[in-house]
Amino acid sequence: MDGHTFQVGSDVFVAQDGPDGRYSAFFEDDGETAYFYAVDLSRPDNTILDAVHIYNVANVVDRDRLASAALLHLRQTILPPSRYRT
């Protein structure tokens, strides 16, 4: 797992494609906010499947310290509905 060191609030983009090449994940800090995205590369428009807001730069109290981002792909397991816990 490789990491990328950066300063919070700097323009940073870290991407990692999945082992099968169908999915990708990326982290983006645009200087104001940071998000994590999951993308389906098999679709013509590279559809974003989900996005998670990570932080607002103005609210990060230790933004003067270096941060690190690393993307790790985990094996996907789909359980049948009868196996979900409620």
Give me the residue spans of the domains in the chain: 4-83
User: What does the DSSP 8-state code read for residue 59?
Assistant: G
**pTM across the whole model:** 0.73
**Where does 1-86 show beta strands of DSSP type E?**
4-7, 12-17, 23-29, 33-40, 48-56, 66-69
Contacts with 6 (C-beta within 8 Å, 6 or more apart), sequence order? 12, 29, 66, 67, 68, 69
**Average pLDDT for runs of 10 along the chain of length 86:** 80 87 90 93 89 94 87 59 54
pLDDT of residue 2: 59
Enumerate the β-bridge partners of residue 38. 25, 50
pLDDT of residue 30: 95
Contacts with 86 (C-beta within 8 Å, 6 or more apart), sequence order? none
